Amino acid sequence: MLEKLITDFPEHMSRPVNKKLPLQGIRIIDFTHFIAGPFATMILADMGAEVIKIEAPQRGDDFRQYPPFDDEIGQGAPFLWSNRNKQSLSLDLKTPEGLSVAQELIKSADIVVENFSTGVMQRLGLDYESCKVDNPKLIYCSISAYGRNGSFSDRLGFDPIAQAESGFISMNGYSDREGVRALSPVMDIGTAMMTSNAILGAIVARSQHGIGQTIDISLFDSAVVMSGYAPVQYLFSGKEPQRHGNTSPDTCPSGAFKASDRTFYINCGSNKIFQRLACQVLKLPELAESPEYATVKDRNKGRDKLFSILNAEFAKQPWTYWQKSMREAGVPCGLIRTVAEAIRSDEAMESRVVTRIPHRVKEWVPNISLPIKYSETPLADPVAAPNVGEHTLEVMKKVLGYSDMQIDDLQEAGAFGKNFAFGS
């Protein structure tokens, strides 16, 4: 598949050389693994922060193994997606020497981000209370399943568990069967965005007030937020949200409809949009004027009949006809695409959200950009995710200033893992 990158996707356009980076000069020591933590630090790395990812020797972050795994690159595609613009340092934190290196790095850091099980960083002596002694302005962010304090702090959790326990799954799918999870790790990504936002806020607070602090982010809390306004609706009405499939209890008509050739989605979020759909697109003014469909409540009540009318009309023309007509009328609509169609769409090509970037082993690898476009401080040019320990020597010399002799002694002591070889 990767051989199609050259023909299917544009090369990443380099940022202007004279522009500064938003987080230039900020150093982050990254003790995270899997998705939520690494995606959060990648967002900050894209903004120009120096992110040094601490990984266990040899195997590294377990997320490296997620499929499809590429033997030539030595990592899976999901890891490549979530770890660009980072340096990887191989450290055995079970050795005194490896732990000492980690402590030295934290002394030089602006931010530490970790998502180990609760208690691990304390046992290692890398908790906030220990680290702030030598670095009082340190920003220390912990990501966990249910928070670092309280009676649930020992619980482990992944994205699907957060989807289940937050009520998110109960809202999705069809009413005649169990709720379904979102295949995309939406809670991990949502938690990552919460984390990066929290860290940015802490950076501003430190610049204004001269203080460091801890940040506690939980996957469960983020998942409750990601369930949208449903909890508030429940608290006002006392009614549990129901599964509506592709329709909506709040807007109507909203759902999937079939043209003569393709299925598409429309969302009439207001009475005015419905009026435009009926009059300008479908040329059915009587539909717009019918008291049966005057309000959202009325349209939801008569949804089955209304949808039958709409599908009968939409079946008369192909998608391109309806897309043009609805775009001109200002009716939100979109083709229901596959992932392959989405990343090759005109919209994706124009925004350059999917590009190809050089790789040290393969000629090119794919890259999914963040949707952030700064005018004066563009995001960093993407550099493909590193191999385990790829930057160990560079970090030891350039960041910590260690001599060759010191590095050799640490290597001999197993600080970087047994049988570690630079450049491997």
**Is the domain covering 263-335 a CATH 3.30.1540.10 domain?**
yes
For the residues 190-195, what does the mean pLDDT come to?
98
Residues of the chain with pLDDT > 70, as a percent, come to 100
Confidence of residue 422 (pLDDT cuts 50, 70, 90): confident
pLDDT at site 258: 98
The reply to whether 263-335 shares the fold of 7-228+374-413 is no
* Residue 112: exposure state from Cβ atoms within 10 A (0-12, 13-18, ≥19): buried
What residues does each domain of the chain span? Answer: 7-228+374-413, 263-335
Amino acid at 303: R
Q: Which of 70, 110, 188, 261 is catalytic?
A: 188
Other C-beta atoms closer than 10 Å to the C-beta of 229 total: 10
Report how far residue 38's alpha carbon sits from residue 51's, in angstroms, rounded to the nearest whole number.
Answer: 10
pLDDT digits (tens, 9 = 90+) for 284-329: 999 999 999 999 999 999 999 999 999 999 999 999 999 999 999 9
> Per the structure block, which two tokens stand in for 115?
């998502």
Residue 67 pLDDT > 60: yes
Residue 117 is classified by DSSP as: P
- Assign domain 7-228+374-413 one CATH number from 3.40.50.10540, 3.40.190.10, 3.40.50.150, 3.30.450.20: 3.40.50.10540
Whether 221 sits among the annotated catalytic residues: the reply is: no
pLDDT at site 421: 84
Sheet holding 213-218, edge to edge: 86-90, 50-55, 27-31, 111-114, 139-144, 213-218
For the residues 246-252, what does the mean pLDDT come to?
95
